[in-house]
Amino acid sequence: MYKMFIENVHLDSNERLCSDPAADAIFQILSGARNFKLLMHALEIGLFDEIAVFGEPITAETAAKKFQFNAASFRRFLDTLVAMGLLKKEVSMKGRELYSNSSGTSKYLTRCRKPTLIAAALMESNFVMPMLDILPLALKTGSSSINVMGTKKGVNTDKMDNVSNKPPQNTPPEMNEQKSADKLMKFLLCMDGMAQPCAPSLVRAFDLSAHRNVVDLGGGSGSIALELARTYPQTNVTIYDLPHVIQMAQKIQRDVPSHVTFQGGNFFEEDLPDADLYIFAHVLHDWEEEKVDILLEKVHDKLPPGGSLLVLEKVLNERRDGPLLTVTSDLIMSLISKGKERTESEYRKLFSKHGFSNTCVKTIEGVNYYDAILTKKPFC
């Protein structure tokens, strides 16, 4: 009987064999969590920096000896990073397997290059992941002001240490100041790394050459403003942020063009510097609607007729269920602030409410945290 069954089975050699596609999204999420952990281990041991310093492709045995690891196990780790696209592997004429950094790793994951995505990875690990531990409480209460210092019932205070702004007890004031400065530096480097891959596209999304005075409000370290200044050398550019942020930004940036200035101030409380183009990059999504109204009203009042506002935020689709990176950012915003991500129609309505017109939205393709929105103050 079994023989008869086998004889009646006809296998098509061209038949496509695959697993159930319904499981693909789930496995991608599971493997993503695993891959992130592996990336963090590579960063923690300084693997990519060591390979960069070595100056040429390196064998697994040489690298293992450097880190005092078991060579066989370390080879598996290196091969995993190759599969992830973080390392490259080649075979020499003598048959030796040699490892080197991929182009993306060399550009964004080594400390010898600036800016990098190392700070962004650390922010994800030390801030965002612990923050998500309070998600059940946030979903239950609907609160956008979760006390991250763990005073509310149900919050794991051990995991929240890295995101708390509360000074440790009996700590000298100068130590608290240094810790605050270190956190600010890490945050600015994180923002720099997130902006750099798409900054050239952001400042070229629209022709801004007609503008002569640009102010980047809440400009942080100024990476986007500096890219704009390099692209439009005839434009005077001001990086405007809180005084202590500006002091840090001036330490981070080098070789600043003469037509770029730094100015400290509070855009809620003080008069804005004159400009015919203002920029808000990852600013509007931080604040509740009332604060956004204040900012847009101030910008509109200050702009000359025909002046522009460039908003750099990732835009949700109209169903609010994509792109994935934007949706997850919107969820994170609900945990750390009263802000939110918006759809294109929401931005158009918001700008129209404050007298802006001719709003245009351009999508920055690829995996990134920015789209470009330009809106104008009418001549009449």
Domains of the chain (ranges plus CATH)? 26-108 (1.10.10.10), 189-376 (3.40.50.150)
**Residue 377 clears pLDDT 50, i.e. is over it:** yes
**pLDDT for residue 180:** 87
Cα dihedral 249, 327, 87, 113 in deg (nearest 10):
-10
Burial 199-235 (b: 16+ CB within 10 A, else e): bebbbebeebeebebbbbbbbbbbbbbbbbbeebeeb
Express each pLDDT in 227-245 by its tens digit.
Answer: 999 999 999 999 999 999 9
pLDDT mean over 273-297:
98
- Start-to-end CA distance of the chain, whole Å, equals 89
- pTM reported for the whole predicted model: 0.88
How many whole angstroms separate alpha carbon 217 and alpha carbon 176? 27
**Between 349 and 114, residue with greater pLDDT:** 349
pLDDT mean over 349-360:
98
Express each pLDDT in 317-341 by its tens digit.
Answer: 999 999 999 999 999 999 988 999 9
**Residue 101 clears pLDDT 60, i.e. is over it:** yes
pLDDT mean over 175-201:
90
**Between 302 and 172, residue with greater pLDDT:** 302
**pLDDT for residue 14:** 77
Reported as a pLDDT band with limits 50, 70 and 90, residue 150 is very low
